[in-house]
Amino acid sequence: MSSTAVARFTGTPFVRKKERLQAVARWSFFSMAILMVILLLAIIGYLVYHAAPSLSWEFLVDVPRRGMREGGIWPALVGTIYLVFISLAIAAPIGVLAAIYLNEYAKDNWLNRLINLAVINLAGVPSIVHALFGLGAFVYAAKLGYSVLSASLTLAIMTLPVIIASTREALSSVPMPFREACWNVGATRWQTIKAVVLPNSISGILTGVILQVSRAAGETAPIMFTGAVFYKAVKRGDFFPYQLTDQCMALSMHLYTVTTQVPDVKESISYATAVVLLGVVLMVNAGAITLRIWMRNRKKW
């Protein structure tokens, strides 16, 4: 190859400058991602280190004793599971159906623009405001009282915007030719949604569910105003200690209580409670992520 041909493919100073900037940007973004992982591991390691003296199987299945200064967190653990899954059972169907309407049926008019604006604004409402709404709407107006159902309904309303937004994004990611192909062979709009759009967007819908679980498990204000209680007598190992009309304990409320309201409590108990709360969120998220990956691998495109 001649020197003229080699020179023809040699990068100009402008190209080399762009390549350097691209390399800097790539390594900057990679460093940010690694930093996030390091920070997460540092937080988890810090919590586990301080929780180690109290963290055990006995701590999970035992009930609080001596004014929560000893014992375990079984009532709070079960209460958190109740609140998360009941709120999920309420919010997920409503959120998915609302997103289907907004993305597949709604026309561009003032009413639907108002609905979209309401969803966006609802996502920005602070949790304490949701708590006050739940107190007035469910505890007093609906006469549900301070109960698991009132707290779950409040959490469901608080997490609806996330599910609606993520579901709309997932539905929008399905190519329009998929819908047009179904319509051309005589399928109705609902048949197209049920047989084509939803199966190909289910992995994205689960993303909203994952975010909902994380937020619902960690909120304190909404359940404190509507259904969580300082202490509830529960038998050890009882998997169904609460009815929908009962008040319940919850991990986030229990963590706040033992940290700020209980004197002379061992420091490791607070950290152990935080680790269990984090572990519950991670386990539920891992299950949802596994299901999402399995659904994504079944895609035909």
Count Cβ neighbours within 10 Å for each residue of 245-268 and write b for 16 or more, e otherwise. ebbbbbbbbbbbbbeeebeebeeb
* pLDDT of 140: 92
Kindly give the parts of the chain with pLDDT less than 50: none
- What confidence score (pLDDT) does residue 7 get? 53
pTM, entire model: 0.84
3-state helix, strand, coil in the chain (%, to 5): 75, 0, 25
Residue-level pLDDT at 256: 87
Predicted pLDDT of residue 287? 77
d(CA 243, CA 225): 18
pLDDT, residue 228, reads 87
pLDDT at 42: 94
Helices (H), 52-147: 57-61, 74-100, 110-123, 127-134
In a 13 Å sphere around the CA of 236, the CA atoms on its Cβ side amount to 11
Question: 254 CB contacts (<8 Å, ≥6 apart)?
Answer: 68, 73, 76, 273
CA angle 246, 74, 284 (to 5 degrees): 90
What DSSP designation does 230 have?
S
What pLDDT is attached to residue 148? 92
What are the pLDDT digits (tens) for 48-67? 999 988 888 888 888 888 87
Instruction: Please report the pLDDT score of residue 64 as a whole number.
Output: 87
